[in-house]
Structure 1
Amino acid sequence: MKKNLFAVYSLLVLGAISCSAPDPSSKVNQMIMEFQAEVAPDKRVAVWNLTFENDSLKGETDRLAALEELTGQLDQNGIKYTDAVTRLPDKALEGKTKAVVTISVANIRSQPKHSAELATQALMGTPLTVLKGNGSWYLVQTPDQYISWVDQAGIQLMTEEELENWHTQNKVVFTPLTGHVWTNPQEEEMVSDLVAGDILTGLGTEGNWKQVQLPDGRSGYVEASQMMPWEEWISSRETSMDNLITTAKSMLGVPYLWGGTSIKGMDCSGFTKTIFYLNGQVIPRDASQQINEGEEVDTDKNWENLQVGDLLFFGEKATSDRKERVVHVGMWIGNNEFIHSRGRVRISSFDPENPNYDEYELNRYLRTKRIVNQKSDGVLSVSEIIQPNKL
């Protein structure tokens, strides 16, 4: 019904343009903004950079169905224009619209340069959708839909067929927090470092060593006890209270890194994201996205309502002239304590008698959401998004 009303509104606006307005630019740009609010309200996960000027529809988008609807309405109402919109993925990629991360942790940035802000990270073996290129940089979309730039040195570009072939190969998952791939069992030379959750191709076992292949074709050896077959790893993932607490505490002391989502460094939402990923769930990237998931369980600091695994959100409450601002997130671990990344991964308490009492976070507490065992559009299992052996 909402979509039908929107279409009627669109036709009314465009009818007014064709009948009375000599220059349709302002009205068409208004239409573009209306479409954006409907199909691409969050620029972190969708591209809708369109403008209309000098009788030309310009820009780029990956919302192709919405673009087709927009141009169809322009055509229907006799608006003459030149279609100069770049459809993403860009044809200049020549079919290389997929990629796989080839290093332990790929840094994905807000702009195509190493000096740009770190937006997020992706682990080895993570499949990416490639939208366009800029020199040696590529605009990619991660499995959690986040869109940012990655250096080609950290990925292997692929066609859809090549990615499918890679998926069908036998996969293994690295399980310790950190480790290495060596050229041989004698550990004479390092091929790559590894972090928990990295996905490689398993080639065979030689004694206590597993021969593996990286997504870019490099090969080497990892201690067999540090690798787990994909099927075994994914079937053993569970967001139980014990698993969540154990995983979270294993990262105590890891330094805070803005944009980080790995054991090498993590921001607050990167930390909660990593906890859940290593236990089989993919949750949205940022705290302001995570807060939209799951069931609300508290807004009034009634800690007895909370369970292990609940996510606590902090920031600035909404006022009459300002929207709510979510700036921080942590995970409840019971006993009036939560674990979070601020400066480093640490445990804080809301108990004034506890040495870890955190009055600062208490004063900016917003609410708590529960995503464990809750149906939520933005929370998926790892097997739904990263699917070795099943594209």
Structure 2
Amino acid sequence: MDYGISGLSLIPVRKEPSEKSEMVTQVLFGEHFEIFEEMVGWSHVRMAWDGYEGWIDSKMITPLNARAFNRIEKRPFAVTGDIISLIPVNEEQNLTLVAGSTLPVWRPYLKEFSIEKEKYKAGGEVFYGDRKDPRKVVITQALKYFNAPYLWGGRSPFGIDCSGFSQVIYKMIGMPIPRDASEQVKLGTALSFVDEAEPGDLAFFDDEEGNIVHVGIIWKRNKIIHASGKVRIDNVDQFGIFSVDLKRYTHKMRVMKKIIGVNETS
């Protein structure tokens, strides 16, 4: 088995080994993965964070040996909280990291992380270890994405989809959740009434066939933050999302789930 990590700000993950293929997700800086199949110029990878699979242009991969991979796996991970972070490489170059990027092998006392033998200094907001008041962190971080454009498969403030949004925000409180809304909905405890929801809970919405097609983050009473066209705030009730711009319901409520503080699935 071979291993890799993203040494770039963002790496697109394709459904098939072709630049013309649909982008299904993105690898953020510092996220590591297994490589279990290779073709000419392409690598089929499985993300360590969420088990998601897809194809990456092999030129974009920073190789990891098994020892370095296991070292990253065993250490508590640090995550950037600033929408954009500039990490100096040398006097001429910086790494540009988006919010939710991983800082492997983080040394909080030195404000330093490393990939293999390369060490980097990082400032700004970094989430590490136990997250105090996780619901507050979820809302504070989610609001930073306000007006970020919608992008299918996106996970960054430059373009993000609904489930990528919830996944990255939950990553900042140290909670791994699946990449797709249809899998995220399987977590946590269902709420019987909208009024039971707390800031940071997730709301899921379905289509006419009953398929989960959308997810958003509850902000406060009858308000939801979600990615639809852009990251936006709309009204929400037991019927669904009511767009304040369109003056109509745009998404049909299926279920609201409490995941923060809940260990079991339902």
Q: Could you say what the CA RMSD is over the residues aligned between the two structures, in angstroms?
A: 3.2
Q: Which amino acid aligns with 1:225?
A: G
Deviation at 1:239, TM superposition (A): 5.9
Corresponding residue to 1:195 among 98, 122, 125: 98
- Determine if contact 1:247/1:275 at 8 Å carries over to the other structure: yes
Partner secondary structure for residue 212 of structure 2: strand
Tell me the residue number matched to 2:62: 156
Q: Which amino acid aligns with 1:146?
A: Y
Residue 128 (structure 2) pairs with residue 225 (structure 1) = no
- Determine if contact 1:348/1:358 at 8 Å carries over to the other structure: no
Residue 193 (structure 2) pairs with residue 305 (structure 1) = no
- Determine if contact 2:203/2:215 at 8 Å carries over to the other structure: yes
Tell me the residue number matched to 2:249: 360
Deviation at 1:202, TM superposition (A): 6.6
- Determine if contact 2:242/2:250 at 8 Å carries over to the other structure: no
Distance in structure 1 (CA, Å) of the matches to 2:242 and 2:131: 36
Partner secondary structure for residue 128 of structure 2: helix
Q: Percent identity?
A: 27
Q: Which runs of 5+ in 1 are unaligned?
A: 1-94, 319-323, 379-391
Tell me the residue number matched to 2:219: 333
- Determine if contact 2:204/2:256 at 8 Å carries over to the other structure: yes
Distance in structure 1 (CA, Å) of the matches to 2:257 and 2:4: 34
Number of residues of Structure 1 aligned to a counterpart in Structure 2: 261
CA deviation map 1:2-22 (0-9, x unaligned)? xxxxxxxxxxxxxxxxxxxxx
Deviation at 1:194, TM superposition (A): 1.1
**Deviates most, 304-313 or 154-163:** 154-163
Structure with max Cα Rg: 1
Query: Which of the pair has the greater relative contact order for Cα pairs under 8 Å at 6+ separation?
Result: 2
Deviation at 1:288, TM superposition (A): 0.8
Normalising by structure 2, report the TM-score: 0.83
Distance in structure 1 (CA, Å) of the matches to 2:40 and 2:242: 56
Deviation at 1:205, TM superposition (A): 9.9
- Determine if contact 1:124/1:200 at 8 Å carries over to the other structure: no
Distance in structure 1 (CA, Å) of the matches to 2:145 and 2:165: 9
CA deviation map 1:252-294 (0-9, x unaligned)? 1111110012233210000011110111111111111111111
Partner secondary structure for residue 108 of structure 1: strand
Structure having the larger proportion of residues in strand: 2
Tell me the residue number matched to 2:234: 348
Flag the 1:277–1:342 CA change in 2: closer, same or farther, 3 A. Answer: same
Flag the 1:150–1:238 CA change in 2: closer, same or farther, 3 A. Answer: farther
Partner secondary structure for residue 128 of structure 1: strand
- Determine if contact 1:316/1:366 at 8 Å carries over to the other structure: no
Flag the 1:314–1:191 CA change in 2: closer, same or farther, 3 A. Answer: same
Tell me the residue number matched to 1:3: none
Tell me the residue number matched to 1:32: none
Normalising by structure 1, report the TM-score: 0.59
Deviation at 1:164, TM superposition (A): 3.4
Partner secondary structure for residue 280 of structure 1: coil
Distance in structure 2 (CA, Å) of the matches to 1:341 and 1:190: 33
Matches within 5 A, 1:363-378: 364-376=252-264
Partner secondary structure for residue 269 of structure 1: helix
- Determine if contact 2:103/2:113 at 8 Å carries over to the other structure: no
Partner secondary structure for residue 116 of structure 1: coil
CA deviation map 1:236-258 (0-9, x unaligned)? 42463322111110111111110
